[in-house]
């Protein structure tokens, strides 16, 4: 009988392989990630770096530029006004010389600033003046006021401040004796006097809204006579605008309605004050033109 085989102890577990447990998992970076269709993680990370990251950076750069544009918006308006002024100076300078053209554009600016100031006093935001060669300058606003009296104030503010600019030119002429200032004074007076013609969209038509709107037809007739007497494309453009605006506003006024009646309801005292300012400006501007008139010489 053979002696029994001695029972040997189980092999000792190595420090890295505990008995009865599998060896620990060590990723190599090449194994597929579950749920990614077998695409390695490193490849997906490279894809994000190559495609998605540049798009995000571009979007952030665009947002930064938009923010800069928004912050610079007021400065852009000033640059737009200054740029249109320079274009107008160049256009007028080709006919009258750059020195006189610069003075003329400044007179236009002073006139338009009168409207801007009046609009802001009425609580209405107004754009910066935009200059259009051989047409003048314009501003834009959502309205001219809540009623005809406010419209008249806005309309007369332009010729009022413009007359101050013309008076300053006349004063400089008297001080220096330079014909340059005399010519600017005459031109400024004529410019503001022309705008006081009682027809919309000119400033005089705005004043008539608070006085006697039927005067729009008198002013329109004067514009037609002026257009035939001194043929000029700009005057005919104004005539066309005046015809459209006069017809539209007269139709609104004739049809009445509570809103229209309220708009044109102005106290007698206010009508008198508007008429006094309107007629005084005409008298002063005519006197200014007479004082600065230059006789043509051969």
Report yes or no on whether pTM surpasses 0.85: no
Name the 3-class secondary structure at 137.
strand
Q: Domain extents for the chain? A: 76-292
Q: Using one digit for the tens of pLDDT, what is the confidence trace for 177-200?
A: 999 999 999 999 999 999 999 988
pLDDT recorded at residue 74: 52
**Minimum mean pLDDT among 16-20, 61-65, 145-149, 193-197: which range?**
16-20
H-only helix segments in the chain = 41-47, 53-96, 98-121, 148-176, 179-195, 203-210, 215-229, 233-255, 258-263, 268-292
Burial pattern 145-169, b for ≥16 Cβ within 10 A else e, equals: bebbbbbbbbbbbbbbbbbebbbbb
- Which of 14-18, 157-161, 240-244 shows the highest mean pLDDT? 157-161
Average pLDDT of the chain, as a whole number:
78
Question: pLDDT tens-digit profile of 210-262?
Answer: 988 888 888 888 888 888 888 878 788 888 988 988 888 888 877 777 777 78
The answer, yes or no, to whether residue 273 has pLDDT greater than 80, is yes
Of residues 188 and 58, which shows the higher confidence score?
A: 188
Residue 59 scores a pLDDT above 70: no
Whether the pLDDT of residue 22 is over 70: the answer is no
Over 80: is that where the pLDDT of 50 sits? no
Q: How confident is the model at residue 151 (pLDDT cuts 50, 70, 90)?
A: very high
Do the beta carbons of residue 93 and residue 104 sit within 8 Å? no
Q: Is 294 within 8 Å of 183 (Cβ atoms)?
A: yes
């Amino acid at each position: 009988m053979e002696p029994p085989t001695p029972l040997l102890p189980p092999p000792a577990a190595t420090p890295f392989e505990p008995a009865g447990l599998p060896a620990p998992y060590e990723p190599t970076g090449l194994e597929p990630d579950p749920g990614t269709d077998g695409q390695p993680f490193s490849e997906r990370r490279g894809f994000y770096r190559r495609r998605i990251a540049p798009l995000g950076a571009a979007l952030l750069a665009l947002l930064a530029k938009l923010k800069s544009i928004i912050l610079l918006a007021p400065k852009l308006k000033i640059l737009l006004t200054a740029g249109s002024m320079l274009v107008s100076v160049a256009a007028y300078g080709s006919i009258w010389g750059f020195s006189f053209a610069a003075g003329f554009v400044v007179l236009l600016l002073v006139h338009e600033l009168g409207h801007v100031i009046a609009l802001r006093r009425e609580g209405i935001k107004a754009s910066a003046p935009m200059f259009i060669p051989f047409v003048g300058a314009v501003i834009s606003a959502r309205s001219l006021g809540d009623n005809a009296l406010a419209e008249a104030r806005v309309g007369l503010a332009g010729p009022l401040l413009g007359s101050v600019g013309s008076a300053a030119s006349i004063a400089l002429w008297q001080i220096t004796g330079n014909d340059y200032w005399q010519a600017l004074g005459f031109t400024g007076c004529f410019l503001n006097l022309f705008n006081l013609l009682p027809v919309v969209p000119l400033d005089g038509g705005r004043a008539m809204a608070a006085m006697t709107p039927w005067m729009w037809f008198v002013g329109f007739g004067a514009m037609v006579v002026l257009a035939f007497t001194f043929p000029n494309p700009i005057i005919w453009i104004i005539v066309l605008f005046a015809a459209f605006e006069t017809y539209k506003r007269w139709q609104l006024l004739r049809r009445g309605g509570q809103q229209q009646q309220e708009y044109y309801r102005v106290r007698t005292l206010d009508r008198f004050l508007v008429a006094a300012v309107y007629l005084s400006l005409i008298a002063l501007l005519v006197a200014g033109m007479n004082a600065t008139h230059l006789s043509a010489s051969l």
